[in-house]
Structure 1
Amino acid sequence: MILDALFFLIQAGLTLFFWAILIAAILSLLTGFGILDTRNRFVWALSDFFYRVTEPAMRPVRNRLPNFGNVDLSPLVVMLLVQACMLLVGAIRGYMIRGGLYF
């Protein structure tokens, strides 16, 4: 019962982080193309929030990727890593259930 809650919280956190990365990438594209104006207080606050949430995970990836000009592939890489973590958590839960360690 406690492990169910723990695995649910881990999966929910990873899912929320995945969506935060996706929204941050979309906001970055929309502001880059001039569709959204960052002088608007709401747009700026929203962009700043998602930047602060996702930047600690994307900065190390961005530093290691080669420079592709204006194309930023770090959200894609981090989203793939988050998906891999979600699969790993599911596999660990499955192994614990099959091994009798899950109660």
Structure 2
Amino acid sequence: MRAILDVILIVLQLYVWVLIAAAVLSWLVAFNVVNPHNQFVRTIGEVIYRMTEPVLAPIRRILPSLGGLDLSPMVLILIIFFIERVIGLYIYPYVF
């Protein structure tokens, strides 16, 4: 059982890094640092979008509109940190 919890914690940490990569890539595209018409950048962006959008879309519907500021990745990262804390403090110590 501990191995399953360890895998869950690792997957959650990897997903946080994917969310950070999505935010950084969106900033780089917005400020014209990278060319979104480049095939490599487009492929990376599409992969990251497909990994994050199913989870971020419901959060975006709940959050109020703040103009051009998207806080849904930050909210999701806080939710993931909360889940990790619950697993680490309340579930993991009691698994034999």
TM-score range (shorter-chain normalised) is: over 0.9
Which residue among 11, 19, 27 is the counterpart of 2:9?
11
Larger RCO, structures 1/2 (Cα 8 Å, 6+ apart): 2
1:4 shift after superposition: 2.1
Moved over 6 A (4+): none
**Residue 83 of structure 1: CA displacement?**
0.7
Q: Which has the larger radius of gyration?
A: 1
CA distance in structure 2 between the aligned counterparts of 1:83 and 1:22, rounded to whole angstroms: 14
**Alignment match, 2:76:** 78
Tell me the TM-score normalised to structure 2 length.
0.94
Aligned to 1:43: 41
Unaligned runs of 5+ in 1: 97-101
Q: Percent identity?
A: 35
Query: Deviation digits for residues 54-97 of structure 1, max 9, x if unmatched?
Result: 11111011111111111111110001011111111112112x1x
Q: Report the RMSD for the aligned CA atoms in angstroms.
A: 0.9
Could you tell me which runs of 5 or more consecutive residues in structure 2 were left unpaired when the two chains were aligned.
none
